[in-house]
Amino acid sequence: MNETIPLGREYMERYPEWREALPGNDLPWLAQRRADAFRRFAERGFPTRKVEAWKYTNLNPLTKKLFAPGAGLAATPGALPADALDEKSVHRLLFINGRAAPGLINGRAAPEATHALPDGVRLMPLSEALETVPDLLAPLLAADAEPEEAGLLEMNTALMTEGAVLLLEPGVRLEKPVHFFFLTTEDAGEAAMHLRNLLVAGKGSEATVFEHYLGTGQTGHWTNVVTEIVLADDAHLHHYKLQNESKAAYHIAATTAKIGERAVYDNFAMSLGATLARNDIQARLDGRGIDCRLNGLHLARGHQHMDTTTVLDHQKPECRSSETYKSVVDDRAETVFQGKVLVRPDSQKTSAHQLNRNLLLSDEASANAKPELRIYADDVQCSHGATISELDEQALFYFRSRGIAEDVARRLLTEAFLAEMVEEVKDPAVHAVLHQAMTDWLGQAWPKGGRP
């Protein structure tokens, strides 16, 4: 087995044609970055399991056929699926099948929605941002020339078509969460959606972002999303993500966050959908006194494969980081957690704690964990823990001895395992959506009750 699978010939042949249709193609800096990224990706190809960061996740299905960029897909849904997110409680940016649905921002005409935003906040689709504020994007978008653990990031740079852009000027506080709503319908087919989000928070600004993927069809499309985050000093960003793509879809996501002094970055990702899902998070702690929390849940069943891979890079002293990732694995599903914590030389007084817990519900379920500590400074407090097991027999016995039916007990214990994390979500609107998603999942696992 080789380390990479080369990019298919069709990609090479059709890229020039696709490139023409990409937004911002007339911007020289962007055209250059795209060309460089495509060249590098074409040279390297898709990583295989021989590449350490992809040890447990096989991208083969993505290389077997051509996923053409889904340009030109109809962006006209029927009714929006009912979900608990009241449009009045959020600033919403809606995308359907990878295209911005401008008429539907906040469910109203676009200008109205923008007016509702406080001063100093720019919220718009990437295509619009490249037209209206290209100079703001130039120093930020795909500006990291050669990322270390690139994965599919460069393919994304080469092909990115749309995404959400949120720019906060210094000191701005957004009260309502921003809802990046990526909806895929039956029309998505087997298209590829190379999405690129950009979140930039100026000094001392604060916002809550809810990145939401929902598949209403049964399509086997591929979402390849990259989210670039830059937090200036003292900024606070609460970043939530719900991945609930169609069960046949592929969801490959990479989030890179560059965090400044005393900033707070909080990431919570819940994965429910897709047949193959990968969530990469790289957080660079580039200032003193940063507080970074990464948390997440996998709820996997059927033949789903879910992978969360994080890199916490402590580059400066006196930062705190904590990570908790949990998986509940049913049927023949498989989950992966790889969490690297890097403490660079001189990053003294670092505190980094990590926990990964996996609950196996069925005989064929499996879980893999690879926590990793790389410590080059001595005055640190670092730890990690990982467990894989089924539900605790003693806890079950406790329930049974009090007359509670076994399936009820199992459901309650599983719920407790998950809810502990969901309850940490502060924003009530986002919490409601995540909680509902969890409850629905549990309801499907114990369809015949499991309710006290």
Partner 1 sequence: MATNTETAETIRSLTGEYKYGFVTDIAAEQAPRGLNEDIVRFISAKKSEPAWLLEWRLKAFRAWCAMEAEEPAWANLRYPAIDYQNAYYYSAPKSDADRPKSLDEIDPELLATYEKLGIPLREQEALAGIAVDAVFDSISVATTYKEKLAEVGVIFCPMSEAVTKHPELVRKYLGSVVPYSDNFFATLNSAVFSDGSFVYIPEGVRCPMELSTYFRINAAQTGQFERTLIVAEKGSYVSYLEGCTAPMRDENQLHAAVVELVAMDDAEIKYSTVQNWYPGDENGKGGIFNFVTKRGACRGRNSKISWTQVETGSAITWKYPSCILQGDNSVGEFYSVATTTNLQQADTGTKMIHIGKNTRSTIISKGISAGRSQGTYRGLVKVLGGAENARNYTQCDSLLLGDKCGAHTIPYIESRNRTARVEHEATTSKISEDQLFYCSQRGLSQEDAISLIVNGFCKEVFKELPMEFAVEATKLMNVTLEGAVG
Of 26, 346, 420, 423, which one interacts with partner 1 (CB under 8 A)?
A: 346
**Nearer to partner 1 by C-beta: 128 or 331?**
331
User: What string of DSSP letters covers 62-81?
Assistant: HHHS---B-TT-----SSPP
Per-residue x/- mask for partner 1, residues 24 to 53, rule CB under 8 A?
----------------------------x-
Q: How far is the CB of 398 from partner 1 (least distance, A)?
A: 18
Residue 377 interacts with partner 1 (CB under 8 A): yes or no = yes
411 with 330: CB under 8 angstroms?
no
Integer angstrom CA distances of residue 335 from 8, 115, 177, 320, 399: 28, 43, 30, 27, 28
Q: Which of 322, 279, 317 is nearest to 298 (CA)?
A: 279
Is 381 one of the binding residues for partner 1 (CB under 8 A)? yes
Query: Distance (Å, rounded) from C-alpha 93 to C-alpha 86?
Result: 13
**Minimum CB–partner distance for residue 395 and partner 1 (Å):** 13
Count the helix, strand and coil residues of the chain and give each as a percent rounded to the nearest 5.
Answer: 25, 40, 35
Q: Find the shortest distance in angstroms from Cβ 50 to partner 1.
A: 10
The span of 190-198, 224-232, 310-318, 354-362 binding partner 1 (CB under 8 A) equals: 354-362
User: How many residues interact with partner 1 (rule CB under 8 A)?
Assistant: 36
Residue 132 or 381 having the CB closest to partner 1: 381
Window 296-335: contact mask with partner 1 (x via CB under 8 A): ----------------------------------------
Scanning 263-271, 362-370, 413-421, 439-447 for contacts with partner 1 by CB under 8 A, the matching segment is: 362-370
Place of tokens 């879980």: 367
DSSP string of 130-152, one letter each residue: HHH-HHHHTTTTT--SS-SS-TT
Closest approach of partner 1 to the CB of residue 284, in Å: 19
Residue type, 37: A
Query: Binder to partner 1 among 155, 365, 409, 425 (CB under 8 A)?
Result: 365
371 binds partner 1 (CB under 8 A): yes
Check if the beta carbon of residue 159 is closer than 8 Å to that of residue 22.
yes
Is residue 383 close enough to count as binding partner 1 by CB under 8 A?
yes
Q: How far is the CB of 352 from partner 1 (least distance, A)?
A: 9
**Among 355, 340, 351, 334, residue whose Cα is nearest residue 420:** 355
**Looking at this protein, which amino acid is placed at residue 418?**
L
- Mark the segment that binds partner 1 (CB under 8 A) among 221-229, 270-278, 360-368, 431-439: 360-368
Closer of 375 and 432 to partner 1 (Cβ): 375
Query: Of 112-120, 204-212, 366-374, 439-447, which segment contacts partner 1 by CB under 8 A?
Result: 366-374
CB atoms within 10 A of CB 26: 10
Closest C-alpha among 332, 337, 390 to residue 366: 332
| 379 touching partner 1, by CB under 8 A | yes
Q: What CA–CA distances, in Å, run from 264 to 136, 292, 355? A: 23, 6, 20
Q: 266 to each of 38, 263, 382, how far by Cα in Å? A: 32, 10, 19
Q: Which of 389/444 has CB closer to partner 1?
A: 389
Q: How far is the CB of 389 from partner 1 (least distance, A)?
A: 4
Q: Does 382 bind partner 1 (CB under 8 A)?
A: yes
Contact flag: residue 390 with partner 1 (CB under 8 A): yes
Binding segment toward partner 1, per CB under 8 A, in 113-121, 180-188, 221-229, 357-365? 357-365
Of positions 374, 400, 426, 451, contacts partner 1 by CB under 8 A = 374
Q: Does 396 bind partner 1 (CB under 8 A)?
A: no
Buried b (16+ CB within 10 A) or exposed e, 379-388: ebebebebeb
- Write the single-letter amino acid at 207: A
Please check whether residue 166 is in contact with residue 178, taking contact to mean a CB–CB distance below 8 angstroms. Answer: yes
Among 43, 109, 376, 397, binds partner 1 (CB under 8 A): 376
Interface with partner 1 (CB under 8 A): 52, 345-346, 348, 358, 360-390
